[in-house]
Amino acid sequence: MDTHTLQHVALFDKCKGFTKAREIQAAGLYPYFKPISKAEDTVVVIEGKERVMMGSNNYLGLTHHPKVLESSRRALELFGSGCTGSRFLNGTLDLHEQLEARLAEFLGKEAALVFSTGYQANLGLISGLVGRGDIVFLDKLDHASIVDGAKMSFGETERFNHGDLEQLDLRLGRRGDRGKLVIVDGVFSMEGNIADVPGLVRVAQKHGAALAIDDAHSVGVLGPNGEGTAHHFGLQDEVDILVGTFSKSLASIGGFVAGSESVIHYLKHNSRPLIFTAALPPANTAGVLAALEVMIAEPERRERLWENTRHLQDGFRSLGFDIGPSQTPIVPVLIGTIEHTFLFWRRMFDAGVFTNPVVPPAVPPDQCRLRTSLMATHTADQIDWALDQFARIGKETGVI
């Protein structure tokens, strides 16, 4: 026997002592890593049963669009299954450059840069741009990828209370003429509310800070043509950098950063998450290009998404549920404690509705919730049926 196996390895103590998830599994309430065996737009099959998917970020319902699938198939045949190298070396395809040019044009920016995931886009932007002596300012509800990008950078990090622009103003004012980046979610993924972009622009410009908006949940949802939060407010020229993902409205995986040509050129040569990872696969890249064109050509999808959003929000409110400050297709249903939330999730799951439970550390212990999100392709009947299940279980559990 290897002598190493007989020794105590202190590093693994935390693993052996981590029992919380196993306790929830034993109670039959574990909601995570549920394998989907079949997906057909708004309906998925999990554990052999069809369930209405109310927890996807497929806002425009494009994952099964024939043009998206056909473009992906063609790229697979033309380029193979992967790039087998980084963008910096052998992994750049003409498809990547076509997508970057199309994104820059669509977003009204000089240039764009495609990353392999949306997570890496934030890592690459912040760690690549914020150096020694610089400071990055984060909203306390910013996505984990923003937080981790700040940790990876050699600069300092300051966090301000959610939406508290007075606090941001004070903190920026203390930092003089140093390099400063303010970055926030355009739509906050657990609350469903929209960032105050006009206020952020005003404060950032007052202090000579760059402003970046992460439009992961905004592209395809907000803006005249789905361009995102800055365009929603008509401030696209005032927001310096736009970040986004392809894994939501654009029905694939990957991410992008868009901004001035000089910033993008700098990131191409200084962003480690770009330089040291394999490029976005051909089929995904082609699928995003097709999804972007469908999104522009079929504005009625976004209109249906907003009809569905109002339908669900009004339904929850009329039933007496607390959906917080939701202004978008992300509609959280506040339940309360972790235990009640997992129980409510299980009851909904058994009834045939898939939702996402959100618990600490993502939210405070007494503000646990079920996060629902809508697609343009949900039918009114599906939404009404889901609301009926929420109403029944909400009354039976005492939530309403």
Q: Return the domain boundaries, the chain.
A: 19-53+299-397, 66-297
Tokens 């361009």 sit on residue: 227
Q: Give the whole-angstrom CA distance, residue 230 versus residue 248.
A: 18
| Residue of 71, 72, 189, 252 with catalytic role | 189
200-254 pLDDT, tens digit each = 999 999 999 999 999 999 999 999 999 999 999 999 999 999 999 999 999 999 9
| Sign of the CA dihedral running 378, 65, 345, 190 | negative
Helix ranges (DSSP H) in 233-354? 261-270, 272-275, 282-297, 300-319, 338-351
| Residue of 96, 207, 248, 378 with catalytic role | 248
Active site residue 189: yes
Q: Which helix (H) or strand (E) holds 111?
A: strand 111-115
Instruction: Using the predicted structure, report yes or no on whether residue 8 has a pLDDT greater than 90.
Output: no
Instruction: Using the predicted structure, report yes or no on whether residue 187 has a pLDDT greater than 70.
Output: yes
Q: Give the whole-angstrom CA distance, residue 335 versus residue 358.
A: 10
Query: What are the beta bridge partners of residue 185?
Result: 214
How high does pLDDT run on average in the chain? 96
Active site residue 395: no
State pTM to two decimals.
0.95
CATH number of 19-53+299-397: 3.90.1150.10
Active site residue 217: yes
Percent of the chain exceeding pLDDT 90 equals: 96
Any idea which fold 66-297 has? Aspartate Aminotransferase; domain 2 (3.40.640)
Of the candidates 58, 313, 72, 345, the one whose C-alpha atom is nearest the C-alpha of residue 192 is 313
Res 7: pLDDT? 74
Q: Give the whole-angstrom CA distance, residue 39 versus residue 195.
A: 32
Residue range 54-74: mean pLDDT, rounded: 97
Residue 2's pLDDT band (cuts 50, 70, 90):
low
Q: Which long-range contacts (CB under 8 A, 24 or more apart) does 204-207 make?
A: 204/172, 205/238, 206/169, 206/172, 207/169, 207/172, 207/173, 207/175, 207/180
Question: Could you tell me if 240 and 259 are in contact, meaning their C-beta atoms sit under 8 angstroms apart?
Answer: yes
Res 329: pLDDT? 98
Instruction: Using the predicted structure, report yes or no on whether residue 1 has a pLDDT greater than 60.
Output: no
Strands 368-373 and 356-358, bridge-based pairing:
antiparallel
| Residue of 96, 217, 232, 378 with catalytic role | 217
Cα 118 off chain centre by: 8
Sheet strand arrangement including 330-336 = 330-336, 368-373, 356-358
Of the candidates 214, 160, 150, 220, the one whose C-alpha atom is nearest the C-alpha of residue 188 is 214
Residue range 255-275: mean pLDDT, rounded: 98
Question: Could you tell me if 93 and 394 are in contact, meaning their C-beta atoms sit under 8 angstroms apart?
Answer: no
310-366 pLDDT, tens digit each = 999 999 999 999 999 999 999 999 999 999 999 999 999 999 999 999 999 888 899
